[in-house]
Structure 1
Amino acid sequence: LNFKNKLEENFKSVLPSEKAAFLSGLTLGEREDFSKEFKNKMSLSGTTHLVALSGYNISIIVVVIMAVLGGYLPAAISFYLTALVIVLFVLMTGAEASVVRAAVMGIIMLLGRHIGREYSLRNAIVVAAFLMILFNPKILVFDLGFQLSFAALLGIIYLSPVIKKIFKISQPGVLSWKENAATTLSAQFAVAPLLLINFGFFSLSSFFANILILPFVPLAMGLGFVMGGVGFVSYFLAKIIGLVLNIFLSYMLWIIDIFSKITVSVGLEKISPVAVVFYYFILIGAVLYANRKSEQL
């Protein structure tokens, strides 16, 4: 916790207060410094998930650490040190469901690479879910973060390929707006009923807000972690990195502000759990049908 606080202090010393608070949310899931107005803006624009710890955080940590250690230490030592840092990060940030899931999957991926086995995302998510439910069975029913985290990831894994085939999206890459649109749409299809049953509304404009923001999240997070780490050694270098980071954060906050003012949402006072189950049955059936259809072509 002391390291986490010092990292946040580095953010605050380099960036303006609102941007430092937003960066703390992106990288550490910390929302204490958010104003009520900003929380409301994120809710209306459907971007609150950006400050919920997830696989983005873990993947950025893995990339940074492996880049630093990979060329200097034996593979075994790099693996154990990276896994240790992931565990410490989970403990430091409060062990939320989404980050625990991402951590388990990240460690499984690292282990697979270490022992020379091919990494299966589908197997990893099953193992992650099983271990988390085994440790605390109540999260399956009572932890919304767990439900949203796995629903969104399952949507991306199974729905995204179908959407890409339908709209003939083949351009890969983090900055591809088509790729990002397919990923965003698949995740929103997967979590929509959970949001409706828990909050009574679902933001339609969030789709466009996320298309415009998500490509820049990994860049902002990566620069944020690097800036925070460099800040322990050199304020001057951290300030230089902060100048670049400030551009990305300003853009993201601008998009959040715009879409909080033009929000369009679907609202339902009450939705039956039976309707939610029925929705997922239809969604699963549609995915199975689409996959079978593509195999026949």
Structure 2
Amino acid sequence: MALALGTGAAISHLNLHPLWLAPPLLAFLVPNGPSCRPVLKLVPLLLSLAAGYILVVSGRLEMNRDCRLHIPEGRSLEIDGLFVGPLVDGRGEVLPTRLHGSGCLERFRVIVPDRLLDLRVPAGRGRAGERVTLRGRWRRTPVLGPTSPIRAGYLLADSLSLAGSSVGTHAPARLGSHLRRRLVEGGGWVQRRLEDLFPRGAPLATALVWARKDRLSPEVREAFARAGTAHLLAISGFHVGVVGGLLLLVLGWTGTPHSTRFLLASLGVWVYVLAIGAPDAAVRAGAFLSFMALGRALNRSVAPLGAVAAAFLVFLALEPMALLRPGFQLSFAGAVGLLFGYQPLQRWISRRSKGMAPQFLCKGIGAGISATIATLPLVAWHFGRVSLVGIPLTLVVAPLVTLAIPGIFFSLVVSAVHPGLARFLASGVELVLEVISGFVAWVGALPFASVWVSEATLLSGTLAAGIAVLLLRHRPRRSGGELMPVAAMVL
């Protein structure tokens, strides 16, 4: 059903006629054996296909009603709001709490000219969560994609006034969503505390645990991309798992019953996911964890693939326009790749090494290869290049990231009780962050770290790989049959 829903949504995104829903429906019915009853499978598949198509149509209509798409060019605006992230090089995002000149209370991009930045924003100000009043004119920009209303335009400021942290202040008369404001305030506190705890490593620490890459320099981003480790900067299932594990640990200390513990941890994970802006990979991981926790609470086993499919269904039903986003595609492709390829690859590597390789190494290589193979075509398609050192470098850097993320979270928690002890702990974590960034920068600077891939090369390579897989499954038993897949890849 998840595959059918996604197919219907993809057909709608491609603006194809609804009659194109018929071929995939027939393809879904082909594997049914003679003992199956196709009529029973036809109805849910047909409904899922139609639902995917209709969801995207309604999602496109809903997106077109976004208020940011309808603010006229040059409109004078005055915004009272909160910085969602830090103001970096005069660029940032603001969540309005009051907007004069328009009734739109969605997040806005703002650009502050250098002359105004030097005059009105002292050093150390313009931080996440600070209250700000901006006056300026709206500048429209071409929307880069059908899923990015925030990129419809920006406010070019000609007046700016900072009012400090919003925590503990009274809300203005006209507020946006109270929950969103509270989440932005909490996120601002976390980002400011990270800046205080990690004087040198705050940009990387904030990216690792709070999904804000505003302060990461272009050189650092380029190094992570060339080295094939950019996925370590994205909030993924690992980060969500760390948060869930910490919550389970705390709830275990309080003596909470086992089933209730998982449900409360799942709820806490969703608070975290919403607070960091609900990136696609985090939403997928949160939904997966919620289904697993629900199954444990009901004392029922949950198949991991079923949980991923259910997360896909729920995510796409709530936000059908997400299907076109690279983060959504990479998240689910990586998860499915791990589910199908991790254990077979681990066993194969273990057999080939004849027990000489330790299990943690077999598991790491198996997980890295399976996720990389599943996401490689998407990475090449969206970003135009493929890293040649991503898997071995991930095996080295991932354990350091595994050590750094809990350390960052623990330093944050301790800072609320004992700031001095938190700074002591953070100094050790900051050393790990410097090792990570330095090593990735060194590897990313190597001339063979990554290669550019054209769309024609990607399509032909994917086709050759598919033919090779088919030949491997149906190769003849006579001598030389094993060379046919190799010949397909060469061609």
Alpha-carbon spacing, 1:241–1:112, altered in 2? closer, same or farther (3 Å): farther
Alpha-carbon spacing, 1:271–1:133, altered in 2? closer, same or farther (3 Å): farther
Aligned-pair Cα RMSD in Å: 2.5
For 1:196, the equivalent position in structure 2 comes to 380
Number of residue-to-residue matches in the alignment: 285
Taking the aligned partners of 2:373 and 2:463, their CA distance within structure 1 comes to: 14
The answer on whether the counterparts of 2:388 and 2:451 sit within 8 Å (CA) in structure 1 is yes
The answer on whether the counterparts of 1:193 and 1:276 sit within 8 Å (CA) in structure 2 is no
Q: Which has the higher strand share?
A: 2
For 1:162, the equivalent position in structure 2 comes to 344
Q: CA deviation at 1:272?
A: 7.7
Cα deviations by residue, 1:157-216 (Å, 9 ceiling, x for unpaired) = 11122222222167787xx33321221111111111111111221011122221111122
For 1:268, the equivalent position in structure 2 comes to 453
Deviation larger for 272-281 or 233-242: 272-281
For 1:177, the equivalent position in structure 2 comes to 361
> Which residue of 222, 225, 230 corresponds with 1:43?
225
Deviation larger for 163-172 or 152-161: 163-172
For 1:255, the equivalent position in structure 2 comes to 439
> What code does the residue aligned with 1:138 have?
M
Taking the aligned partners of 1:97 and 1:60, their CA distance within structure 2 comes to: 17
Taking the aligned partners of 1:172 and 1:104, their CA distance within structure 2 comes to: 33
Taking the aligned partners of 1:257 and 1:158, their CA distance within structure 2 comes to: 32
Alpha-carbon spacing, 1:283–1:155, altered in 2? closer, same or farther (3 Å): farther
Taking the aligned partners of 1:217 and 1:117, their CA distance within structure 2 comes to: 33
> Which residue of 109, 113, 121 corresponds with 2:296?
113
For 2:145, the equivalent position in structure 1 comes to none
Q: CA deviation at 1:29?
A: 1.2
TM-score (norm 2): 0.54
Pairing 1:22-171 to 2, within 5 Å after superposition: 22-75=204-257, 77-140=260-323, 142-168=324-350
Runs (5+) with no aligned partner, structure 2: 1-183, 475-491
Runs (5+) with no aligned partner, structure 1: 290-297
Taking the aligned partners of 1:258 and 1:13, their CA distance within structure 2 comes to: 27
Cα deviations by residue, 1:65-88 (Å, 9 ceiling, x for unpaired) = 111112314325534432222221
Q: Report the 3-state secondary structure (helix = DSSP H, G, I; strand = E; otherwise coil) of the residue aligned with 1:202.
A: strand
- Percent of pairs with identical residues: 23
Taking the aligned partners of 1:245 and 1:283, their CA distance within structure 2 comes to: 46
The answer on whether the counterparts of 1:7 and 1:229 sit within 8 Å (CA) in structure 2 is no
Q: CA deviation at 1:138?
A: 2.9
Q: Report the 3-state secondary structure (helix = DSSP H, G, I; strand = E; otherwise coil) of the residue aligned with 1:16.
A: coil
Taking the aligned partners of 1:65 and 1:36, their CA distance within structure 2 comes to: 34
Q: CA deviation at 1:154?
A: 1.3
Cα deviations by residue, 1:54-108 (Å, 9 ceiling, x for unpaired) = 1111111111011111231432553443222222112111111111100001111
Deviation larger for 71-80 or 85-94: 71-80
